[in-house]
Chains A and B, each alone.
Chain A
Amino acid sequence: ETGVTQTPRHLVMGMTNKKSLKCEQHLGHNAMYWYKQSAKKPLELMFVYNFKEQTENNSVPSRFSPECPNSSHLFLHLHTLQPEDSALYLCASSHKLAGVGQVGETQYFGPGTRLLVL
């Protein structure tokens, strides 16, 4: 595998289900991100992990629970979602120098998981 991979690519779940999205990066990066992309809206940053530590939670509801066990893997645990949570969920990774970000740091994205909540 190369780049950033995400599984599953498509997910349909009921509001009472619990599911998890998985992201894996094969780029040797040390920062990982979750984004939400809804129709007609800009990409919204959800969570940021630097060196496995969460550094940003962009006011995301608690029904979304991220987990970063190591620098290569990122999960998004989902429970009791709402229909308005249906969206494309994108994972990204980047390389931070010595834990400090730079404006030129490039994020590389995975193919996303298309989530439909019924």
Chain B
Amino acid sequence: AQKITQTQPGMFVQEKEAVTLDCTYDTSDPSYGLFWYKQPSSGEMIFLIYQGSYDQQNATEGRYSLNFQKARKSANLVISASQLGDSAMYFCAMREAYNTDKLIFGTGTRLQVFP
């Protein structure tokens, strides 16, 4: 079974609108971390936001927030007030406590922001 599932291969959003990128995960480890990365066409993976499995509050970083629903095993990324520069691939990733060297990535969602 896939550990990280991103069901949206592509998303469109108008500038200044909010958009939600979906991510579900599968683990039996009670301790894990969830990450979102942005990959522009230049190739570099840019770290955006982190949520720990024991964190009580949903993570926020500027315009990025993580809608963490532990019981549903989902960790959706919400980008508010989209900007043209947000157009990129977005990857959800997970690290489990039993193997902290391994960051497991999803297949990504391509976000396109239009004027």
The reply on B103 being an interface residue by CB < 8 A is yes
Q: A29-60 toward B: CB 8 Å interface, digit per residue (1/0)? A: 00101000000111101001010000110000
Contact A114–B43 (Cβ < 8 Å):
yes
Contacts of A106 in B (CB 8 A): 35, 47, 50
The answer to whether A108 touches B43 (Cβ under 8 A) is no
A48 nearest in chain B by CB position: B101
Number of interface residues of A (CB under 8 A): 28
Knowing A90-B45, A104-B50 are in contact, say whether A56-B101 is a contact too (CB < 8 A): yes
Q: Beyond A40-B107, A41-B107, A106-B35, is A101–B101 a contact (Cβ under 8 Å)? A: yes
Q: How many angstroms from the CA of A41 to the CA of B89 in the assembled complex?
A: 13
Chain A nearest Cβ from B108, distance in angstroms: 8
B18 at the interface (CB under 8 A from A): no
Q: How far is the CB of B58 from chain A (nearest CB, A)?
A: 15
Asked whether B50 lies within 8 Å of A111 as measured between CB atoms, the reply is no
**In the complex, chain B residues whose CB is within 8 Å of the CB of A100:** 100
Q: How far is the CA of A108 from the CA of B108 in the complex (A)?
A: 18
Q: Annotate A95-118 by CB proximity to B: 1 below 8 A, 0 otherwise.
A: 000001111111111111010000
* Interface check A23, CB cutoff 8 A: no
Contacts A42-B4, A43-B91; is A101 near B45 (CB within 8 Å)? no
Which residues of A come within 8 Å of B, CB atoms? Answer: 31, 33, 40-43, 45, 48, 50, 55-56, 88, 90, 92, 100-112, 114
| 12 A-B pairs with C-beta separation under 8 A | A33-B101, A42-B105, A43-B93, A43-B105, A103-B32, A105-B95, A107-B47, A107-B103, A109-B44, A109-B45, A111-B42, A111-B43
A-B pairs, top 7 by smallest CB distance, nearest first, are: A101-B100, A103-B33, A109-B45, A112-B43, A43-B105, A111-B44, A42-B105
